[in-house]
Amino acid sequence: MSVEAITDTISMIDSPYHGLGEVLETYLIQGQKSAVIDPGPAPLVPGVIETLEATGVTHLDYILLTHIHIDHAGGCWKMLETYPDATIHCHPRGAEHVIDPSRLLAAAGKIFGDALSEFGEVRGVPAERVAESTDGETLNLGGVSLETIWTPGHSSHSQSYFEPDSGVVFAGDAAGYYPGNKGVLVPDAPPPHNPAQAADSLLKLMRYEPKTIAYSHFGYYDEATTRLERFLDQTRLWDRLAQDGVEAGLSLNDIFDLLVEEDPEARELAGIDEEGKRAVYFNLKSFVGYAKWRRKSP
Ligand SMILES: [Zn+2]
């Protein structure tokens, strides 16, 4: 477990996941009120709470969700056991699944199979603890504020948070991820992923001219706008190769070969080990799925 101050009001908590660090970052925002962004799945939550206690946070006002995927939000119920008054703030498309996760779990089960159980128990939370966000809404924490920016693409319920004084943007998975801590950024694209929406969301984030970008997986970096621009180019490249490949009747393997030829980051990741290669395949498959869907329903 580690905690690192990014500014006077923002810290990054890295709570271990089955003993591993740098799996999901939780961010703590402290004004007169306190908020965490993405508590993680249940196995991560005890470490987050321990850190909050060590930091002197006795009351938590908000649990802010960049989206409701289990690795970000599965442990909300466990957070509420310690902070029963906290409000869970999420995109309206995600709210019903936070209250009743059964459909979300069924969908995740199809993607992850038995590995889903690693994320620990996922329980619904009382509806009155969930607040639906609006796009552009400002959350005033007293001395520090956060703007909610809807950024669909990675999921339909993705949203980012922007802290205007420091220029830190919390992008969740909307701006890519570093699979397996290998230093290479690629799209995080579980199905159904929508690259057209993802590209629009990246342009939207750039208009805020953020200085620092805080990723969920993982860490925070300066030169946020340059990183967003590069990632937009990468997203468009993956989308173009998938669309052209589907149009030309190429297989996923053929499109993979073209991708690793054209995208140096995908090439590097796929060349590191089997796990890296699997990550590229898994994410590319969703781009191809989108291209097939678009072809059927233009
Ligand atoms: Zn996600």
User: Per-residue pLDDT tens for 11-46?
Assistant: 999 998 888 888 899 999 999 999 999 999 999 999
Of 268, 184, 197, nearest to 232 (Cα)? 197
- Looking at residue 18, its pLDDT comes to 85
- Looking at residue 25, its pLDDT comes to 95
Number of H helices, E strands in the chain: 10, 13
- Looking at residue 111, its pLDDT comes to 84
- Ligand 1 centroid from CA 218, angstroms: 12
- Ligand 1 centroid from CA 154, angstroms: 7
Can you list the domains of the chain with their CATH numbers? 2-222 (3.60.15.10)
100 Cβ partners below 8 Å, 6+ apart? 124
Q: What is the pLDDT of residues 172-207, one digit of tens each?
A: 999 999 988 888 999 999 999 999 999 999 999 999
- Ligand 1 centroid from CA 69, angstroms: 5
The span from the CA of 155 to the CA of 188, in Å, is 10
Which segments in the chain show pLDDT lower than 50? none
The span from the CA of 123 to the CA of 19, in Å, is 23
The span from the CA of 266 to the CA of 281, in Å, is 10
In single-letter form, the type of residue at position 127 comes to A
Strands (E), the chain: 2-5, 10-14, 25-30, 34-37, 62-64, 87-90, 130-132, 138-140, 145-150, 159-163, 168-172, 212-215, 219-221
- Looking at residue 127, its pLDDT comes to 98
- Looking at residue 89, its pLDDT comes to 98
The span from the CA of 199 to the CA of 153, in Å, is 8
- Ligand 1 centroid from CA 67, angstroms: 7
- Looking at residue 1, its pLDDT comes to 66
DSSP class per residue in 241-275: HHHHHHHTT--HHHHHHHHHHH-HHHHHHHHH-HH
- Ligand 1 centroid from CA 248, angstroms: 30
